[in-house]
Structure 1
Amino acid sequence: MINILKKIFQTLVTESRNRGLYFAVLMNLSHLIGVLRGVFYKLIYFRNINCSIFALQTKSRIEVFNKHSKINIGKFVFVRRNTSIRIDFNGVLDIGEKVFINDNCNINCINKISIGKNTKIAPNVSINDHDHNYKNIEDEHLIKGEVKIGENVWIGSNVVILRDTFIGDNTVIAAGSVVKGNIPSNTLFVNKRENVCINRTS
Structure 2
Amino acid sequence: MPKSEKQKMLAGELYMAADPELAADAARAQDWMARYNAAPAQSAEDRHALLVAGLGHVGAGVTVRAPFHCDYGYNIRLDDGVFLNFGCIILDVVTVRIGTGTQIGPGVQILTADHPRDATARAQMLEFGRPVVIGRNVWIGGGAIILPGVTIGDDAIVGAGSVVTRDVPAGTTVVGNPARASAVTANSI
Report the TM-score range of the alignment, normalised by the length of the smaller protein.
Answer: 0.5 to 0.7
Cα distance, 1:94 vs structure 2: 1.3
Alpha carbon RMSD of aligned pairs, Å? 2.4
Closer/same/farther in 2, CA of residues 40 and 151 from structure 1, 3 Å limit: closer
Cα distance, 1:182 vs structure 2: 1.3
Question: Aligned partners of 1:192, 1:110: CA distance in 2, in Å?
Answer: 24
Q: Which moved more, 1:137-146 or 1:125-134?
A: 137-146
- State how 1:115-154 maps to structure 2 within 5 Å: 115-133=98-116, 135=119, 136-137=121-122, 141-154=126-139
Residues 144-189 of structure 1, C-alpha deviation per residue, up to 9 Å, x if partnerless? 1010100000000100101010100000000000112211111110
Runs of 4+ deviating beyond 3 Å: 40-43
- State how 1:29-44 maps to structure 2 within 5 Å: 33-40=43-50, 42=52
Aligned to 2:83: 100
Question: Aligned partners of 1:180, 1:92: CA distance in 2, in Å?
Answer: 21
Closer/same/farther in 2, CA of residues 192 and 132 from structure 1, 3 Å limit: closer
Question: Aligned partners of 1:108, 1:34: CA distance in 2, in Å?
Answer: 25
Contact 1:133 1:140 in 2 (8 A): no
Which of the two has greater strand per residue? 1
TM-score (norm 1): 0.61
Among all aligned residue pairs of Structure 1 and Structure 2, give the percentage whose two residues are the same amino acid.
Answer: 29
* Structure with greater contact order relative to length (CA < 8 Å, sep ≥ 6): 2
TM-score (norm 2): 0.64
Q: Which moved more, 1:94-103 or 1:132-141?
A: 132-141
Q: Kindly tell me the number of residue pairs found equivalent between the two proteins.
A: 137
User: Which consecutive residues of structure 2, in runs of 5 or more, have no partner in the other structure?
Assistant: 1-39, 179-189
